[in-house]
Amino acid sequence: MRPKFKKILLVIRGREEERAVIQRAARLAKQTGAKLTALRVLQRQLPDAHMESAGVPRKEIEKIAAAVAHEDLRKALRPVEKQSAAQVKVIWGTPFIEVIREVQRHRFDFVMVNAHRVGTLQGSLFGHMTMRLMRKCPCPVWAVKTGARSPANRVLAAIAAPESEEAAKLNGKIVELASSVAQQENSELHVVHAWNVFAESILRGRGGVKDADLNAMTRQARLTGKKMVLDLVSRHGLSIPRERIHLVKGSAAAVIPRLVLRKKIDVLVMGTVCRTGVAGFLMGNTAERVLGNVKCSVLTLKPDGFVTPVRLK
């Protein structure tokens, strides 16, 4: 099961630590036959008054800055140019907005970016731009950790309870893409499902429910989760050893980061939850908390029908 990407957008911000994402994007483009475009978005920061006092027109300064950025992109791509010839593009604007607009204009079906943290997201691997892309970009976003092992040894697909038809379809997309990445990277594929008994602590405390009944509910919840995962894996024609299927009791926000650490996962593939067809995406609380606690590369997907709030000019 190979990825079916046609056009990959590689977002580069001009940092030395981006070598890992550049190498991985070039290899993925070569193996899938996808066209690769390397993009740098420059932000306008100097007020007009400063430019005027310097005696240099604003347009001239922007032209020089864009030319330098373009040359830097070319230089960054030279080590991988034999693997995949990439188109280079430099534009101006707010980075996450312009990336999404490029995806819309040119129908990119995959975005890759370095998972470099900047700003105030203490404890999180991901910076503001990466998190915004994960929230609002309509196509899958692969945030590659600086210094990530390449190829990856272990890929983990995180499966949520299919509480709706939309969620069930998203689970299928997660398994398919995780399987594709694992095959592409020649790595182990793992699957995790965090299950729980609704309001268990209340029921055990003041709810007055007998322990025997609660234990029966717990067994049933686990069996339901297990059947869901095994059916999903089987439906997609995957053969995954039982020891790589992880059914863990607890909240996904706590379970997944611990499993990533314990199993030394290199790439986590997970979905983000929203109502489809609604512009103005708010990532689900569980997804936000997972992303805030994992330290590996992450590939996020949206449900079918997702509508980005970012509009073309």
- Asked whether residue 155 falls in the same domain as residue 137, the answer is no
- Asked whether residue 170 falls in the same domain as residue 257, the answer is yes
The first and second tokens of residue 75, run together, are: 């230089």
What is the pLDDT tens value at each position of the chain, 313 positions in all? Answer: 556 789 999 999 877 778 889 989 999 999 889 999 999 999 887 555 555 566 677 788 889 999 999 999 999 999 898 888 899 999 999 999 999 999 999 999 999 999 865 444 445 667 888 889 998 999 999 999 887 887 889 999 999 888 778 888 999 999 999 999 999 889 999 999 998 876 566 566 665 667 676 777 778 888 988 999 999 999 999 999 999 999 998 888 889 999 999 999 999 999 986 544 433 333 566 788 888 888 899 999 988 888 899 988 7
- What was the pLDDT predicted at 286? 75
- Asked whether residue 102 falls in the same domain as residue 233, the answer is no
Please report the sign of the dihedral spanned by the C-alpha atoms of residue 278, residue 281, residue 282, residue 287.
Answer: positive
Contact criterion met (CB below 8 Å) for 177 and 301: yes
- Asked whether residue 180 falls in the same domain as residue 212, the answer is yes
- Asked whether residue 266 falls in the same domain as residue 158, the answer is yes
- What was the pLDDT predicted at 119? 46
- Asked whether residue 168 falls in the same domain as residue 307, the answer is yes
The first and second tokens of residue 44, run together, are: 């306008």
The DSSP letter of residue 309 is S
- Asked whether residue 108 falls in the same domain as residue 251, the answer is no
Report the candidate in 13, 192, 37, 219 with the shortest Cα–Cα distance to residue 119: 13
CATH code for position 256: 3.40.50.12370
What's the N-to-C CA distance of the chain in angstroms? 37
- Picking from 120, 147, 174, the residue at the C-terminal end of a domain is 147
- Asked whether residue 141 falls in the same domain as residue 161, the answer is no
The DSSP letter of residue 44 is P
- Asked whether residue 306 falls in the same domain as residue 158, the answer is yes
- Picking from 147, 179, 212, the residue at the C-terminal end of a domain is 147
Burial annotation 41-58 (CB, 10 A radius, 16+ → b, else e): bbeeeeeeeebeeeeeee
- Domain ranges, residue 22: 1-147
- Asked whether residue 106 falls in the same domain as residue 127, the answer is yes
pTM assigned to the model: 0.87
- Picking from 91, 123, 147, the residue at the C-terminal end of a domain is 147
- Asked whether residue 181 falls in the same domain as residue 127, the answer is no
Quote the CA–CA distance of 144 and 25 in Å, as a whole number. 10
What's the number of domains the chain is made of? 2
Amino acid type, 158: A
The partner residues of 269 in beta bridges, in order of sequence, read 157, 299
CATH code for position 35: 3.40.50.620
Secondary structure of residue 39 in the 3-state scheme: strand
- Asked whether residue 10 falls in the same domain as residue 48, the answer is yes
Please report the sign of the dihedral spanned by the C-alpha atoms of residue 47, residue 50, residue 56, residue 61.
Answer: negative
- What was the pLDDT predicted at 5? 86
